[in-house]
A and B are shown apart, each in its own frame.
Chain A
Amino acid sequence: MYRQMVLIRRFEDHAAESYARARIGGFLHLYIGEEAVAVGALNAARPTDHLLTHYRDHGYALVRGCDPKAAMAELFGKASGLSGGRGGSMHLAEASRHFWGGHAIVGSHIPIGAGMAYAMQYQRREEVVLDFFGDGATGNGIFHEGLNMAALWQLPVVFVCENNLYGMGATLAEESPVKDMIIRAEGYTMPSRQCDGMDVFSVYEAVRTAVEHCRSGKGPFFVEAVTYRFRGHSMADPELYRDKEEVGRWRAQDPILRFGEFCVRQRISSERELEEVNEQVEQEMLEAVAFAEAAPLPEESTVADGVYANPIDPEAAGPESA
Chain B
Amino acid sequence: MAELSYRAAVRDALREEMLRDESVILLGESITGYGGSYAVTKGLVEEFGPRRVMETPIAEAGIVGFAVGAAMGGLRPVAELMTVNFALLALDQIVNSAAKFHYMFGQQWSVPLVVRTVSGFGQLGATHSQSFEGWFASVPGLKVVMPATPTDAYGLLVSAIRDPDPVIFIEHSLLYSMRGPAPPSGEAGLVPLGRAQVVRQGQDVTVVAYSRMLFQALQAAETLEREDGISCEVIDLRTLRPLDYPTVVGSVRRTHRVVLCGEDWRTGGFGATLLAEIQDRCFDDLDGPVARVAMRDIPLPYARNLEHLLIPAAGDVVAAVRSLV
Which chain A residues have a beta carbon within 8 Å of chain B's beta carbons? 50, 81-87, 91, 93-96, 100-101, 103, 105, 108-120, 122-123, 141-142, 145-146, 148-149, 152-153, 305-315, 317-322
Contact = CB atoms under 8 A, between A and B. Distances in A.
B43 interface: no
- Which of A85, A112, A312 has its CB near the most chain B CB atoms (within 10 A)? A112
Given A145-B57, A145-B61, A320 B107 contact: no
B173 to A, nearest CB: 26
Interface string B55-91: 0110101111111111111110100000000000000
Contacts of A307: 102-103, 140-141
A159 to B, nearest CB: 13
Q: Which of A100, A115, A321 has the most CB of B within 10 A?
A: A115
A82 B106 contact: yes
The main secondary structure of chain A at its interface with chain B is mixed
Contact of A115 (B57, B70, B109): B70
B2 to A, nearest CB: 23
Contacts of A319: 246-247, 249-251
B146 interface: no
Interface residues of B, number: 61
B242 interface: yes
A306 B73 contact: no
Contact of A93 (B62, B105, B192, B250): B105
B70 A116 contact: yes
B42 interface: no
A177 to B, nearest CB: 21
A122 B75 contact: yes
- Most B CB contacts (10 A, CB to CB) among A85, A142, A320 go to A320
A207 to B, nearest CB: 20
Interface stretch (B11-19, B92-100, B219-227, B309-317): B92-100
A322 B62 contact: no
B285 interface: no
A152 B69 contact: no
B234 to A, nearest CB: 9
Contacts of B54: 153
Nearest to B110: A309
16 contacts: A83-B105, A91-B104, A94-B108, A100-B109, A108-B65, A111-B66, A114-B66, A115-B68, A116-B72, A116-B73, A119-B74, A122-B51, A305-B107, A313-B194, A319-B249, A322-B198
A113 B202 CA distance: 52
Contacts of A312: 143, 192-194, 242
A93 B108 contact: yes
Contacts of A315: 245-246
A167 B19 CA distance: 47
Nearest to A306: B107
Closest 8 CB pairs of A and B: A119-B73, A115-B69, A145-B62, A111-B65, A84-B106, A319-B250, A309-B110, A112-B69
B244 interface: yes
B244 to A, nearest CB: 4
Contacts of B108: 83, 93-96
B66 A149 contact: yes
B199 interface: yes
